[in-house]
Chain A
Amino acid sequence: MPEADDLDLEAAHRGSINPVSTLEPTDTAQVVEHEPLTMRQQRARLGIGGKLAIAWLAFVTLAAVLAPVLPLDDPNQSVTSIVRQGPGTDGHLLGGDALGRDILSRMVWGGRASLLLAFSSVLLGLVVGGMFGLVAGYLRGRTDRVLTVGFDTLLSFPQIILAVTLVTVFASQQGTSTTRRMVVLILSLGVVSIPVLARITRANTLMWSEREFVQAARAMGARTTSIMVREVLPNVLPAMFSIALLGVAVVIVAEGGLSILGVGVLLPTPSWGNVLAEGRADLRAAPHIVLIPTVVIFLTVLSLNYLGDIVRARFDVRESAL
């Protein structure tokens, strides 16, 4: 065995995470490669904020998922004694709303609707937008130009107005089911997240397709689809996820807006948005009805944005690529 490579190997054995161990005289390349990475990792540590964000999101998600088995009141049951009463009344932790329904229960059940809506519509954008972005960025040329025009067209739809229109036309008739309203909401909010995710995917695909390993895969006879899915996609995923996290936050806020306009999740099914919308009338008499969903939405959106930033810093996704 050549001696220089033995040294290299030892560095590799030790895991080569510690930059000092890679400072072998025969191995400048490794040092050069690892230095910026370590710095980037430091910058992108989770930190206390990141941990709090993850904890809050985990708490909210768990509560929503476990709603049926949690010892909660029926979210639609009216109790006259807690109408517009503040937190703590009669053992109702967050008090009651204008109809005497338990707000804690409505928030937990509302999380189911809000989070389901947010994650589903972004998932739609992630899958459809990701696919088109990958194809546009890898194939380039005419395919890219046609798809880009498509993305731009979709992007020019104002999200709220599109959703209002679609919900009004397809899910506002007498007797519309909660599920139907939900599906239309997911589709209309998802449609708007498609071009955003498609563009970030396309931009990153353009960058990664230039790398030699993509050329190398081609030179070894790999098929185009397999290059896109196996070589390019895994490298693009971090960028897609960081934007998707921000997208979830945007949809949660949008659902609140739609609820205020009366086209959110169909009542009496609770969602964070419609708890807030219903509380508006009693803002003076019972501000807690509005404040509670506001704080929950605020914390959730903050956590999502914060995590999105961490993912972006960790994987060095450039904002300009948007």
Chain B
Amino acid sequence: MHASADEFPRAGRGLLDVSDLRTQFRTPRGVVTAVDGVSLSLQRGRTLGLVGESGCGKSVLSRSIMGLLPPTATRTGEITFQGERLDLLGDDAMRSYWGVQVSMVFQDPMTSLNPVMKIGRQILEPLEVHTDLDKAAARETAVNLLRSVHIPEPERRLKQYPHELSGGMRQRVVIAIALACGPQLVFADEPTTALDVTVQAQILDLLDEQQRERDMAMVLVSHDLGVVAGRTHEIAVMYAGQIVEIAPTTTLFSEVRMPYTEALLKAVPRLENASHSRLQVIGGRPPDLASPPPGCRFAPRCPYAQARCHTEMPPLVEADTPGHFYRCWFPVGTDAGREALERNVAAKVPQAEAAVTGQLTVEAG
């Protein structure tokens, strides 16, 4: 059973509406469903955080929406952007959207700039493809772009190669390129993962600032809840190709329903905890996407899991707070959830004991 558009009643047409998006890859091991029935919508000027562990499909989701998939992938579902069905467009038609309407900031600034091309050339390229600016005007625009992402001495940078800049500077250049043609929607695919912690905050602030100034919509992809916490209007938590919980940011943190989200929150280190205190880990591994379990995909690792969870996929249902959806039979913070956990603790289910004591004794899974 998959969540479909009808199960996910989101009001109003946004800048971007995705419904029942499914992306599959043909691999030697069989068909891998990397994105499995994802629906979401995004308004102008809003930021959506996309969180999940490695391999949960968050990067594939953003590339699917942009139409930047390798030839081995197949994509079904509807993607509507400003009233246009992007999923029906081919590469040639998409080219007028790429860079101009939708654009992407990549993860690793070491590899997302061409090592043998000067910075200036790399910024000018999209301007030349998409605008009619003459040489001088394009150069002027490039300088202004670099200035807007706070790169000092922009004129000098234009003549430099990527290896002459630091990681943080390079990521600023990558952002400048992504914003060059004034896109309405930007995907930031783990934009700070490859950077040092001190530079991370600056880059996130920069993205924030640019988004507000340009009134863009942004999808901020991260494996780190801490990164998206203060900077998003809404957070979608992904697990094994599905959205398992989606809510306005404050609601998600105060009214967690899905046990996976709870486990992620517990895994974030906290300053108020004593130093050297153990972090809570989530035992086991995510399921094989070539043959996912029939029931809830988190069930094998879940402290709350009951018999039903292993056989029946829970649908995405709305919580008390409007706009908060989750996928769970025994949600956290409800009587059903509390009873399920107590039953598991009494039965000495290892994940449940780990969740209560904070100690993982047996590898689940």
Contact = CB atoms under 8 A, between A and B. Distances in A.
Interface of A: 1-2, 4-5, 8-9, 11-12, 15-16, 26-30, 33-34, 37, 140-141, 211-213, 215-223, 226, 230-231, 234-235
B166 interface: yes
Contacts of B196: 4, 26-29
Nearest to B108: A212
Contacts of B198: 4, 26
B116 interface: yes
A2 to B, nearest CB: 5
20 contacts: A5-B168, A5-B169, A8-B167, A11-B166, A16-B163, A26-B196, A26-B198, A27-B196, A28-B196, A37-B163, A213-B115, A216-B113, A216-B178, A219-B178, A220-B177, A221-B95, A221-B126, A221-B130, A221-B181, A235-B116
Contact of B199 (A1, A4, A223): A4
Given A213-B114, A230-B117, A221 B68 contact: no
B165 A5 contact: no
Given A5-B169, A27-B167, A220 B178 contact: yes
B68 A219 contact: yes
B108 A12 contact: no
A216 B174 contact: yes
Given A26-B196, A29-B194, A213-B114, A1 B129 contact: no
A213 B160 CA distance: 17
Interface stretch (B97-105, B211-219, B313-321, B322-330): B97-105
A33 to B, nearest CB: 6
Contact of B112 (A5, A140, A212, A223): A212
Contacts of A28: 196
- Chain B: interface secondary structure? loop
B125 A222 contact: yes
Contacts of A211: 111-112
Given A8-B169, A26-B198, A29-B110, A223 B95 contact: yes
A113 B71 CA distance: 47
B66 interface: yes
A15 B125 contact: no
A8 B168 contact: yes
A209 to B, nearest CB: 10
A228 to B, nearest CB: 13
B74 interface: no
Contacts of A141: 71
B267 interface: no
Interface residues of B, number: 47
A220 B126 contact: yes
A159 to B, nearest CB: 33
Centre residue among A4, A27, A211, A212 by max chain B CB count within 10 A: A212
B99 A221 contact: yes
Nearest to A237: B116
Contacts, number: 126
Contact of A235 (B115, B165, B180): B115
A213 B108 CA distance: 10
Contacts of B106: 212, 215-216
Interface string B123-162: 0011001100000000000000000001010000000100
A27 B178 CA distance: 23
Contacts of A15: 164
Contacts of B82: none
B66 A219 contact: yes
A165 to B, nearest CB: 40
Contact of B68 (A1, A29, A215, A222): A215
Nearest to A27: B166
A36 B25 CA distance: 35
Contacts of A215: 68, 106, 112
A218 B112 CA distance: 11
B222 interface: no
Contact of A5 (B66, B111, B166, B181): B166
Given A216-B104, A220-B98, A223-B129, 20 more contacts: A4-B196, A4-B199, A5-B166, A8-B168, A9-B166, A12-B165, A16-B164, A33-B110, A33-B163, A211-B111, A212-B111, A215-B106, A216-B112, A216-B177, A217-B125, A218-B68, A219-B99, A220-B129, A221-B129, A230-B117
A312 B358 CA distance: 54
Contacts of A234: 114, 116-117
B107 interface: yes
A140 B202 contact: no
A235 B169 CA distance: 22
Contacts of B311: none
A27 to B, nearest CB: 5
Contacts of A37: 163
A30 to B, nearest CB: 5
Contact of B111 (A1, A8, A34, A213): A213
Contact of B168 (A4, A219, A223): A4
Contacts of A222: 125-126, 129
Most buried by A among B100, B106, B166, B195: B166
Contacts of A213: 111-115
Nearest to B198: A4
Given A29-B110, A231-B114, A234-B116, A219 B194 contact: no
